[in-house]
Amino acid sequence: MPRFAANLSMLFNEVPFLDRFAAAAKAGFKGVEYLFPYAEDKEILRHKLDENGLTQVLFNLPPGNWDAGERGLACLPDRIGEFQDSVGRAIDYAKVLGNRQVNCLSGIAPAGGDRDRMRETLIGNLRFAAAKLKEAGVLLIVEPINHYDMPGFFLNRSAEAIEVFDAVGSDNLKLQYDIYHMQRMEGEIAATLERLLPRIAHIQIADNPGRHEPGTGEINYPFLFAHLDRIGYAGWVSCEYRPKAGTAEGLSWLRPYLG
C-alpha cells in the first residue's frame, strides 16, 4: 500500500504547528509535509522530526508574498533574481530537514501579461532550480493546480506541466500529481497516473467536492490506492485536505492502510 504523509498545513490545525508533528505520529503517519518551513528554526523542525520518528517528505520553495496573494515566483519575468535566491534558501532547509524533494509553485499569471514570456521565464527558472537542487541531492517537483481554487495559476493541467518539463530538459524535474486538483481539471485519474507514472514523484489527495478527506465525495480512493499498487508507484501519498469535522475524527478512512 502507499506510504501516507500528513500535510501539517491542513491537518491537525486545531493544535499549534510544532505540536502537529507529535499528533501526526500518534495518528500513525510516518511522513509529514507542509507548505513552508521558513518561519521556523530549521534545527527545531529537525528535532521535531527526530523526536517523533518522522520523515520530512516535502515543502515548497518560497512563494513570494503569500499573505498578499502571491503563489510562487517561477513564471514572473521581473522576479528572476528573487526566485534564484529562494532556491538557495530552500536548499539550506532541505539539507537540515533531510527531505529529498522540493516543490516549485509556478505562480499566478499577471492579468494581461505576455504568457509566452512567462512560459519562457518558467522554463529558465526550472532549469536553474533543477540544476542547483541536483547538486544538493534534492529533486525538484512541480504541481499543476486547478483554476477554480486558484484563479490565474500558471499551470493547471498535467499535460501543460509535462510540456514545460520537456522544454526544461532536466532529469531532476518531476511531477507532483494532486488527485483533487486534477479531478477538477481533467479527470481520467487512473489512466493518467499509469501513463505518467515515470514522470510522477509525489501524489497528494483530497476528495471532491469540498477538498475534504477520502470518502466524503466522488473520488473512489480505495480503487485508486489499489491501482497505485498495481502500477508500481513507490512514492509518498500526502493527505492534503480540509478535515470535515476535525482531523482525528476524519481519519477512519486511513486506518485500514496503516497496518
pLDDT tens-digit readout, 133-147: 999 999 999 999 999
For residues 219 and 208, what is the distance between their CA atoms, to the nearest angstrom? 7
Q: Is the pLDDT of residue 259 over 70?
A: no
- Of 94, 43, 86, 91, nearest to 63 (Cα)? 86
186 is catalytic: no
Structural domain total, the chain: 1
Three cell numbers written together for 11: 491537518
**Residue 55 structural domain:** 3-258
Q: Is the pLDDT of residue 248 over 90?
A: no
CATH number of domain containing 7: 3.20.20.150
For residues 95 and 98, what is the distance between their CA atoms, to the nearest angstrom? 5
Query: Which member of 33, 43, 82, 143 is catalytic?
Result: 143
pTM comes to 0.97
Q: Is the pLDDT of residue 1 over 90?
A: no
Distance of CA 96 to the CA centre of its chain: 19
Q: Is the pLDDT of residue 237 over 80?
A: yes
User: Residue 2's pLDDT is what?
Assistant: 84
82 is catalytic: no
pLDDT band at 7 (very low <50, low <70, confident <90, very high): very high
User: Residue 246's pLDDT is what?
Assistant: 86
Dihedrals phi, psi of 93, to nearest 5 degrees: -70, -40
pLDDT tens-digit readout, 168-201: 999 999 999 999 999 999 999 999 999 999 999 9
